[in-house]
Amino acid sequence: MDKKKILLIHTGGTISMSEDVETGAVLTNEENPLTRQTKELNELAHLIVEEPFQLPSPHITQKEMLILRNLIHSYKDKVSGVVITHGTDTLEETAYFLDLTVKGSLPIVVTGAMRSSNEIGSDGLYNLISSIRVAICDEADGKGVLVVLNDEIHTAENVTKTHTSNVSTFQSPQYGPIGIVTKRGVLFHHLPVQHAHFEIEQADKQVMLIKAHAGMDSTLLGAIAQTTCDGLVIEALGQGNLPPAMLPGIKDLLARKIPIIIVSRCFNGIAQDVYGYPGGGKELKELGLIFSNGLNGQKARIKLLIALESRMPFEKLEEMFQL
């Protein structure tokens, strides 16, 4: 059987780094160690390699995410799948950005590593091989952007980094993985729910993310009102409640037509308008805050900036955060 053509995009991160044996610092190398390790990879697929930038993932912004989206679109009819190597810190944000903005049903797999290329037990090459095996698999078609690490296949929408250093860091807390990678093959055991696609030309909107805490007041919201912020996501308490001292700041931002999305700072569950006390979800909803359907804060931020970019009317925002 002919080998499939896969676009392999390296963007940097620990998977492309190595450890300095003297200092113990993990650093970016001039030559990406992954390019030396491609023998096994070429046996799996015909690889076309692109390296648009080499950045640790805390340096990645929505600008680089858009570059990746455009690069994938430029190869759309020339390859049968895409694999992206990426730092793990913001991997879930890039994966979700692509999930919402790449057209078509091409399998797209994002992967990374928790140990750099020369560390004992390095997981980079292994995760990359697993990702290519998923990308060449027919069943990966039409499942949205997938995140593959540590033998598990997750959806971009649900996956999140849950541990600072453990190789099993990527988990989908609400729903679990949708498949596994074994020595014998790739097995999908769940189907992801289909969701929205957004046409955007640019990704310039400024959306901020803050986390609520006991005793929080409007100070930070007041500071945000002085910026050029286009939208705000708040990781609220529990099912979606805020300390009442935040309400003046919330009302001021709403008067400035800044949309505010409510997610929960809890690791699991969905934010909803349940509580009727001051600052409770019911009041927040009546004020016009939008409750998100189970996304975490960083992904709600990505969705909001894309929604604002696609010039969605204010009233439509609520609907799209239910999808």
Ligand X SMILES: NC(=O)C[C@H](N)C(=O)O
Shortest Cβ distance from residue 252 to ligand X (Å)? 35
Residues of the shown chain interacting with ligand X in the complex, contacts defined by CB under 6 A: 13-14, 56-57, 87-89, 112-114
Cross-strand pairs, 260: 232
160 noted as active-site residue? no
The DSSP code for 195 is -
Q: What phi and psi values does residue 288 have, to the nearest 5 degrees?
A: 115, 10
Alpha helices per DSSP H over the chain = 33-36, 39-44, 62-75, 91-101, 124-135, 219-225, 247-255, 281-287, 297-309, 314-320
In angstroms, rounded to a whole number, what is the distance separating the alpha carbons of residues 266 and 271?
9
CA angle 282–283–287, rounded 5-degree value: 120
Which residue, 88 or 155, is less far from ligand X as judged by CB? 88
Core vs surface per residue 168-197: b (16+ CB within 10 A) or e: ebbbbeeeebbbbbeeeebebeeebeeeee
38 noted as active-site residue? no
The DSSP code for 42 is H
Position closest to ligand X via CB:
87
Among 88, 101, 160, 169, the active-site one is: 88
Query: Would you say 138 is a known binding-site residue?
Result: no
Cross-strand pairs, 264: 236
Which residue, 90 or 239, is less far from ligand X as judged by CB? 90
Shortest Cβ distance from residue 62 to ligand X (Å)? 16
Query: Would you say 99 is a known binding-site residue?
Result: no
Secondary structure class of 313 (helix, strand, coil)? coil
Which residue, 114 or 253, is less far from ligand X as judged by CB? 114
Which residue, 123 or 309, is less far from ligand X as judged by CB? 123
Shortest Cβ distance from residue 312 to ligand X (Å)? 30
Query: Would you say 218 is a known binding-site residue?
Result: no
Binding residues: 57, 88-89
- Residues in the annotated binding site for substrate: 57, 88-89
Could you list the active site residues?
14, 88
